[in-house]
Amino acid sequence: MKTEPKRVLRATCAPGLAPWLKAEVEEMGYDIDSTDHTGVEIRGQLVDAMRLLLRLRTAFHVLQRFADLYPKNADDLYEGASGLPWERVIPADGYLTVVSTVRNDTIRNSMFANVRLKDAIVDRLQRVHGRRPDSGPRGDRTVVHMFWKDDQCRLALDLSGRKLSDRGYRRMPGRAPMRESIAAAVLAETGYDSNKPLVIPMCGSGTLAIEAALLATGRAPGLLRPNFGIKHLLTFDETTWGQERLAAKKLRHDRAPAPIIASDIDPAATDAARKNAVTAGVDHLIEFHECDFADTPLPETPGTIILHGEYGERLGDLEQLKQTYGRIGDFLKQRCGGWNGWVFTSRELVGSIGLKSTRKVPFENVEIDCRLAGFELYAGSRST
Ligand SMILES: C[S@@+](CC[C@H](N)C(=O)[O-])C[C@H]1O[C@@H](n2cnc3c(N)ncnc32)[C@H](O)[C@@H]1O
């Protein structure tokens, strides 16, 4: 029997999340070939890709390298891509999306390069099979990814399709939610330990609390969503996928974590967070409260507290927000002695907390330059 060769698998992430992604991939037992600002690469078979798709918490996509081309312009791209055996992987009766990042002097509009690549693929399938797949921007079936920088054009199959951070549980997004993959990286950075309480005031749609509950009970995030790009490839093997899903399910345990408490002043937010937790299957692990952040009940035993406040999109919001962050600083100092305290906010607002941070980690959330600031809160300073 012919064994499947190992190919380059690239897990991508939000800019700056690569150290946490690398740690996750290594913890799964893989040797990393290379790491850069937005991803890590390993060599593996489709079974390895399936494992990554089901288990990774901080990743956006998993790409399987298909070919490297060196086109001089878009016509050259069409020629080169026409010569590749797309019929081995892409169903002629399917639906194709091409996505790309293009940084090449001959291409002013990356959409043009996308269209040329799409044409090359569907024309080839038409020649081989006598029919062509539908195509468009949906991104929820077969997805081909192009990264064209200078003279190198790297083509890959996007095995995730839509971003892995779209777990499927956040049906109620709330205002300014945190991406699930960022929440997972924030929890890793804070050193969240499920044996100690976790408190999330200003919980919004509940992402941090839900990600913590998934992590604390070994629930693989990929089990929550039914659709992946890999399922729309001719190389997809249902039996192996079933085995990998079963293996991922076995990682789950039912040891209850220390309390996870989530609160928000807005009843619509706590309602959304509760519903999202139900969809994720972890509502029984989270205690919800509707209150001002400063009134969130804190367990006796200190643990980790993370506040993700608003950034202020409208003019005039900023002054009021600065006062709120000042109150957050007072709350941490006066009420949270002995706790592992963190605030996630925009770079602009972090200074308004008025406490000296011991760590300041850059993050990019929904294209806003953010900081996760950590504070040493001495036990002696706690007062009620
Ligand atoms: C940026 S959002 C949090 C997003 C959340 N991490 C998520 O993933 O959905 C900030 C939240 O703080 C809440 N908030 C604003 N002022 C508050 C206050 N004084 N006390 C408690 N919550 C407050 C808002 O209702 C909003 O849900």
- Verify whether ligand 1 is closer than 6 Å to residue 141 (CB atom): no
Nearest-CA residue for ligand 1 atom 1 is 310
Give pLDDT tens digits for 79-113: 999 999 999 999 999 999 999 998 888 878 888 89
The alpha carbon of 358 and the centre of ligand 1 are apart by a number of angstroms equal to 24
Give pLDDT tens digits for 264-323: 999 999 999 999 999 999 999 999 999 999 999 999 999 999 999 998 766 558 889 999
- Residue 324 alpha carbon, nearest atom of ligand 1: 19
pLDDT score, position 2: 64
The alpha carbon of 38 and the centre of ligand 1 are apart by a number of angstroms equal to 28
pTM assigned to the model: 0.94
pLDDT score, position 166: 95
- Verify whether ligand 1 is closer than 6 Å to residue 293 (CB atom): yes
pLDDT score, position 236: 97
The alpha carbon of 275 and the centre of ligand 1 are apart by a number of angstroms equal to 16
The alpha carbon of 370 and the centre of ligand 1 are apart by a number of angstroms equal to 16
What is the rounded CA–CA span in Å between residue 201 and residue 335? 13
pLDDT score, position 1: 53
**Contact call for residues 177 and 204 (beta carbons, < 8 A):** yes
**Contact call for residues 147 and 254 (beta carbons, < 8 A):** no
- Verify whether ligand 1 is closer than 6 Å to residue 290 (CB atom): no
pLDDT score, position 110: 80
pLDDT score, position 384: 43
The alpha carbon of 365 and the centre of ligand 1 are apart by a number of angstroms equal to 15
The alpha carbon of 338 and the centre of ligand 1 are apart by a number of angstroms equal to 24
Q: Which residue(s) pair with 369 in the sheet?
A: 364
pLDDT score, position 36: 95
How far the first Cα of the chain sits from its last, in Å, is: 70
What is the dihedral sign for C-alpha 193, 196, 200, 206?
A: positive
Structural domains for the chain = 7-158 (3.30.2130.30), 180-219+252-381 (3.40.50.150)
- Verify whether ligand 1 is closer than 6 Å to residue 317 (CB atom): no
Question: What is the phi/psi pair of residue 98, to 5°?
Answer: -110, 130
pLDDT score, position 337: 96
What is the dihedral sign for C-alpha 23, 25, 29, 33?
A: negative
Question: What is the phi/psi pair of residue 155, to 5°?
Answer: -110, 135
| Residues of the chain with confidence (pLDDT) below 50 | 381-384
Query: And the tokens for 312?
Result: 């202020």
Q: How many residues does the chain have?
A: 384
